[in-house]
Each structure stands twice: as structure tokens, then as C-alpha cells.
């Protein structure tokens, strides 16, 4: 980890630079900064990895990846169809994935001051005793929002049956691990919902 920059480039400017959306003079100013700043150079490389992760998920690679709220907004400006849900610890969210959605975003709040978490996902299939379980270690928390921001291809969620989902997070602190959550999502397939229920699960 490089030493923190005393005058960091704003994330919105880094995203615009990475996307080639800045005027030439602004691009040159950012280049002059990050070429001499290990911290901002590292931030730009992290941003590039996140962008590659978003593109891979949209175009068929991978299952789920950590991201940031700013990267999600950037995906929207690129015309990617996003459905987004957010919950705080203990809350319940009704969710689905629509036929036109490309990315499904889930955001887990209440994590300000935390840099990374381990995630445990458990989805109980409604009407059966079967479960889907997954663990993802060392996921970065978006420092601008205090949320864990996860992106997944919407086609993956469209393949799910009705699920009762519980997500628990673990923070690896100096005094040992501590739990955060749980967060509850109630997923129902789009084709099983009437119009009123689809609107209720619209997300953002």
C-alpha cells in the first residue's frame, strides 16, 4: 500500500480520465499528477480493474465482483441497463431481475470506516430444503459511500428460482473478526410477478 496522497485526484475526474472524457488540458494535468504519485497511480489501476470487471460481467464473464457507486453511475452513462438495490443491516428488500436488465447491483450499508469485508451468501430455495451458498473474501468497501457495492450479471439472477437470501459480512479487525448484518433479500423471478409486484421491486 502506497502512502496516501495529500492532494488526491477526485474519483469523478479519474473515472472521466479513464473513459477518455476529459479535455486535453485536463487529461494532461491528471497525467502529470499520477505519473509522480504512487498513491493516485494505484487508484487509477484499481479503477481500471473495476472497469474491466464491469465489462466482463456485462459480456458474459464472471459471477460477481466488488465495485463502487461511482463506477455504477459510470456504467449507466455508458447505456448499461442497471437495476440497483440497497439495504442496511437487519433490513429486508424485495428484489427481482427484469428482462432488459444487464447488471444487478446490491449495496450493503452501515460500513463507514471499514475498508474491506468477507461475505457469506446463503439463499434458501423457496418450497424446498435446498440452499445456494457462496463466500467471497476481502471485498473492498466503497469509501465514498460506506457501502459494499456488488455487481452481478442480471442474466445470472434471472436464472435463480425464488430465493430467501441472507447475507452476512465479517470484518477482520485488530481485535479479531466481528460480524456485520445480516442483510435480507427476497428474490422472485420476474415471470412470476404481476405488474404491481414488478413495480414494487423496481429498485433504483
CA distances, 33 to each of 21, 160, 201 (Å): 17, 46, 44
Is residue 4 assigned to a domain?
Answer: no
Is 143 within a domain?
yes
Tell me how many domains the chain contains. 1
How far is the C-alpha of 198 from the C-alpha of 196, rounded, in Å? 5
Q: What is the pLDDT of residues 64-84, one digit of tens each?
A: 788 889 888 888 888 889 999
Tell me, yes or no, whether 102 lies in a domain. yes
- Identify the domain containing residue 72 by its residue range: 11-200
Q: How confident is the model at residue 148 (pLDDT cuts 50, 70, 90)?
A: very high
pTM: 0.73
Q: Provide φ and ψ at 77, rounded to 5°.
A: -65, -20
1 domain-assigned: no
Amino acid at each position: 500500500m502506497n502512502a496516501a496522497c495529500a492532494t488526491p485526484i477526485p474519483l469523478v475526474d479519474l473515472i472521466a480520465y479513464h473513459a477518455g472524457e476529459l479535455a486535453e488540458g485536463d487529461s494532461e494535468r491528471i497525467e502529470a499528477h499520477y505519473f509522480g504519485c504512487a498513491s493516485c497511480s494505484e487508484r487509477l489501476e484499481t479503477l481500471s480493474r473495476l472497469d474491466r470487471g464491469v465489462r466482463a460481467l456485462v459480456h458474459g464473464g464472471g459471477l460477481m465482483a466488488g465495485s463502487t457507486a461511482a463506477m455504477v453511475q459510470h456504467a449507466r452513462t455508458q447505456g448499461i441497463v442497471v437495476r440497483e438495490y440497497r439495504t442496511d443491516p437487519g433490513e429486508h428488500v424485495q428484489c427481482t431481475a427484469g428482462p432488459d436488465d444487464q447488471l444487478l447491483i446490491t449495496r450493503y450499508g452501515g460500513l463507514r470506516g471499514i475498508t474491506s469485508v468477507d461475505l457469506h451468501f446463503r439463499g434458501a430455495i423457496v418450497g424446498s430444503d435446498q440452499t445456494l451458498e457462496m463466500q467471497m473474501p476481502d471485498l473492498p468497501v466503497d469509501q465514498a459511500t460506506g457501502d459494499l457495492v456488488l455487481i452481478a450479471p442480471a442474466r445470472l439472477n434471472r436464472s435463480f428460482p425464488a430465493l430467501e437470501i441472507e447475507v452476512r459480512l465479517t470484518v477482520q479487525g485488530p481485535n479479531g473478526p466481528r460480524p456485520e448484518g445480516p442483510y435480507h433479500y427476497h428474490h422472485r423471478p420476474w415471470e412470476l410477478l404481476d405488474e404491481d409486484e414488478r413495480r414494487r421491486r423496481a429498485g433504483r
